[in-house]
Structure 1
Amino acid sequence: MNWGKGIIGGMIVFMLFIIAMVVYMFTIPVDDYDTKYYEKGLTYDRDYNRAEQVIKDKAQPTIEADSCCIEVSFPQTVLGQVKLTRPSGNIIDKVIPINNKNGQPVQILTTNMPRGKYQLTFEWTSNNKDYLYQKEVYLDK
């Protein structure tokens, strides 16, 4: 094989690689990227301040997961919501309201949810302060 054939062969391999990458990029699912990327960027400071407020006030909830439910205990009375999201897909994502008027632990039923890793995002208000707390939980049955 001479130099000319080697250069042409290398160019063909490179072009096939580029074509394969273009085909791959057009076939990936649409939900692989965040459609609200810019909106989340605009609210980053607010979310950061709410997450820092959890640390300042030592308001981290205690989270215990077992086969039937996730039990969440807060150090004070809260009113808000929790988002359960799966990194593998957004089909079974849930938003659950939380309210522990009596200071009782909040229970989130997980009996009909598939096992795997979940991202819990707690957003709540207590004593006129806003809080944001995120935690990963692995559910197994």
Structure 2
Amino acid sequence: MNWGKGIILGMALFMLFIIGMCVHMFRMPADEYDHHYYEKGLNFDQDYNKEMQVVTDRTRPEIRINGDVVHIDFKKSAKGNIRFIRPSSEALDKVFQLNTGTGKTALFSIVTLVKGRWQLVLEWKSDQKNYLYEQEVDLR
């Protein structure tokens, strides 16, 4: 085989590689990105202040999972919401209303949630102060 055939063969293999990569890239699913990226960026300072309020007031809630129930213990009565965010699928995310009433404990049934890793985002108001707390949990 002379050098001319080698160059042509090398170019053909390179072109096949590029065509194969193009086909592979077009078959990949659409990128999963946060559609609310810019909105979250604008609200970052407010969320940061809420998170720091938890640290300053030492009001970090205690989260316990017993079977199919999540127990959340607060320092004082709280009202707000809790988001169960599934990192692998936005379609599985759930939002529950949070109201401890006169008590300090909130209970949530997790029977309908898929087992695995979840991000809990608690946003509540207590004594005219707003709080935000995030924690990862494993549901089994």
* TM-score normalised according to structure 2 size: 0.85
1:62 aligns with 2:65: no
CA offsets 1:74-124 (integer angstroms, 9 cap, x no match): 011111100011112122321111111222310010123221111110001
Q: Number of matched residues?
A: 137
Larger Rg: 2
Equivalent in the alignment of 2:105: 105
**Runs of 4+ that moved beyond 6 A:** none
- Structure 1, unpaired ranges of 5+: none
The percentage of aligned residue pairs carrying the same residue is 31
Note the residue ranges of structure 2 that are not aligned, 5 or more in a row: none
Q: Where does residue 28 of structure 1 map in the other structure?
A: 29
**CA spacing shift, 1:4–1:37, aligned 2, 3 Å:** same
Alignment partners' CA distance in 2, 1:21 and 1:39? 33
1:1-141 alignment, distance < 5 Å: 2=3, 4-5=7-8, 7-9=10-12, 11-16=14-19, 18-20=21-23, 22-24=25-27, 27-29=28-30, 32-140=32-140
Query: Is the 1:66–1:139 contact (alpha carbons within 8 Å) kept by the matching residues of 2?
Result: no
- How far off is 1:6 after superposition? 5.8
* RMSD, matched Cα: 2.0
One-letter amino acid matched to 1:8: M
